[in-house]
Amino acid sequence: MTTATAPLLVAMQPTFLPWLGYFALMAEADIFVFLDDVQFSKQSWQSRNRVAGPNGEVLLSLPIARKPSRPLIRDTKIADPGFADDMMARIKGSLGKAPHWPLVQDLLDRGFRRAPEGLAALNIALVEDIAALFGFAPEILRSSQLDLGPLDRASRLPAICRAKGAARYLSPQGSTQYLAEDRPFDGTGITPLFQNFTHPVYEQGSGAFLSHMSAIDALAWLGPVATGAAIRAGIGPQLGENEKDDPKHAD
């Protein structure tokens, strides 16, 4: 198997209703790993995201339990499983007039039912359901399923790739600094690549377009087929280490 045809792996923390670029990574991946055995970070995209409302962006935040303290994502609990009614009302206030709102409402209703199982279960269920609507179907698993044992930050990604036989790793642009500092793939035979994604512009109902909202924003306005097509259209050639900092590739 050549490097060009070797499995391409993506590893991402399970984000709450992530943006379109997250799903672009899933569209390119052969193997997609949810990093659920890393520490939960407060004020991160793990428990919050945004949609475009009539008066600007609307922040959606999950209520996170205080205990256990400093949990791994897989052990993070939702403080109030009854949060769903209020959050659904806030999202409906932003997207309720969009043509595909009933589809989004049903998607959220199913996902929010997973709240008693914890943050990871809720986030992963929503991501998997949205990816399926877009027609993206990589092999999906959790890092905790690999039973890799204690690993430091620099060893984690190569270990995951080796466990799945992946000779290529695709990184979001946001991880370029970490990879440049730690250089986890040096000497491993694994090729790091970097995402090259241009965010689509679409009609949001009124006002100036707000980019980088949760994918449910585009899903409500465009529907699953058109949103999936817009994501695919925004995917450019994967970038090598020497190309990632070129301004012409900036989103």
- Of 168, 121, 14, 30, the closest CA to residue 22 belongs to 14
- Cα dihedral: 199, 201, 205, 208 (round 10): 90
The pLDDT of residue 196 is above 70: yes
3-class SS of residue 80: coil
Summarised one tens digit per residue, pLDDT across range 99-127 is 999 999 999 999 999 999 999 999 999 99
According to the model, what pLDDT value does residue 175 have? 83
Cβ neighbours of residue 69 under 8 Å, at least 6 residues apart? none
Cα–Cα distance for residue pair 246/248, rounded to 1 Å: 5
How many angstroms separate the Cα of 85 from the Cα of each of 92, 108, 182? 10, 11, 43
- Convert the pLDDT of each residue in 17-69 to its tens digit: 999 999 999 999 999 999 999 999 998 999 999 999 999 999 999 999 999 89
Q: Measured between alpha carbons, how far is 16 from 66 in angstroms, rounded to an integer?
A: 18
Q: How many CB atoms lie within 10 A of CB 249?
A: 17
What number of other Cβ atoms are within 10 A of residue 178's Cβ?
14
| Among 178, 68, 49, 218, residue whose Cα is nearest residue 123 | 49
pTM of the full predicted structure?
0.93
SS (H, E, C) 81-113: HHHHHHHHHHHHHHHCCCCCHHHHHHHHHHHHC
